[in-house]
Amino acid sequence: MSLFQFSKIKISRKTKITFGILISVTALTVIIIGLWLAWNNMFRQNDRFYVVHVNVTSAEGRGKWHGKVKEVMPVVVQSKYDRKKSDVPKQELSPNDKLFTLFEIDVKKLRQNLEKVPEIEKVSVQRILPDTLDIRIVERIPVAFLARVNSEKLVDRNAVVIRKSHSIDIAGLIPVIRNFKETPPGNGEVFDEIKSALEFIRLYREVGDFAVLKIVDINLAKDDFVSMRIHYGGDRNDYYNIIDVPRMNPEEGMDRILSAIQASKREGTNRRNIILRYNGQAVLKAPAEEVK
């Protein structure tokens, strides 16, 4: 068959479309592979972008993780793209430790791995060309001890259990929550039972009217009520035992506590036990006794 005769062969429209699609897919595949190879050569495998510096910042220099490059580096290495099992994580980097480039780091994976640490709430990661990995950590801030003062277990504002040894050191500045019925969950998990107590803590820390009320102890022994010990105006000697505050509507409870303490101070007596079991009533008693 001559070339002239071959050109006379009719090709169906369906066949033309199929050939067109195949040619387009092939061309697209070649382009993608070319771009991937170019990206590898230009960035991922380019020795100009080897990681030389790793910055770890937290809480403006006051965080537990601030400057802890040694602790963060194993997590960085685990976040490499296509990491081989034979890779040995290095603890520190220097200009001569050309281990990997900035573009070999899976930033999303690195962020997710760091956020698995119970005491870390949020992480942002940024590549700073040509050789710096910038990691900014938002740590969970402890708001209460569990069971006893200086316990190893604390909770943040969202009731997430965290470890004292791995958290920002604010010992002595936070209250203790006692007598909960359930066993606290594992580190990094939410302790639902204590959420009502945390709402009282949030109110005195965030609402201006309640700033004079410093809660130092919250007792959850009763199902429908909380009892607490409060220092008024930051004075450890000016304390009050607040007994049986309904757990429902904590803001109203804090209003009643403040009003009852102010009434006690106006009397000028030593009535430091304040019972708020019934709405609209505040029973003041002396001498002071420990909350049971």
pLDDT along the chain (292 residues), means of 10: 51 72 77 61 66 91 92 88 47 49 90 95 94 95 95 96 92 89 96 97 94 96 95 88 94 93 83 85 64 42
Say if residue 231 is in the same domain as residue 102. no
Say if residue 127 is in the same domain as residue 246. no
With H, G, I as helix, E, B as strand and everything else as coil, classify residue 48: helix
Strand partners of residue 214: 231
Measured distance CA(218)–CA(229) in Å, rounded: 7
At 60 the pLDDT is 86
Full-model pTM: 0.77
At 271 the pLDDT is 81
User: Residue 278 is part of which domain span?
Assistant: 144-285
Cβ atoms of 257 and 213 within 8 Å: the answer is: yes
At 36 the pLDDT is 57
At 85 the pLDDT is 45
Torsion of CA 230, 232, 237, 242, to 10 degrees: -30
Say if residue 74 is in the same domain as residue 182. no
Final residue in a domain of this structure, among 111, 139, 167: 139
Measured distance CA(197)–CA(227) in Å, rounded: 10
Say if residue 101 is in the same domain as residue 158. no
Measured distance CA(93)–CA(70) in Å, rounded: 9
Q: Does 290 map to a domain? A: no
State the burial class of residue 269 (Cβ atoms within 10 Å of its Cβ: 0-12, 13-18, 19+). Answer: exposed
Q: Does 37 map to a domain? A: no
Final residue in a domain of this structure, among 139, 167, 202: 139
Say if residue 193 is in the same domain as residue 123. no
Cβ atoms of 133 and 102 within 8 Å: the answer is: yes
Say if residue 134 is in the same domain as residue 148. no
Say if residue 121 is in the same domain as residue 156. no
Radius of gyration (C-alpha) of the chain in whole angstroms: 31
Q: Does 103 map to a domain? A: yes
| DSSP structural state of residue 287 | S
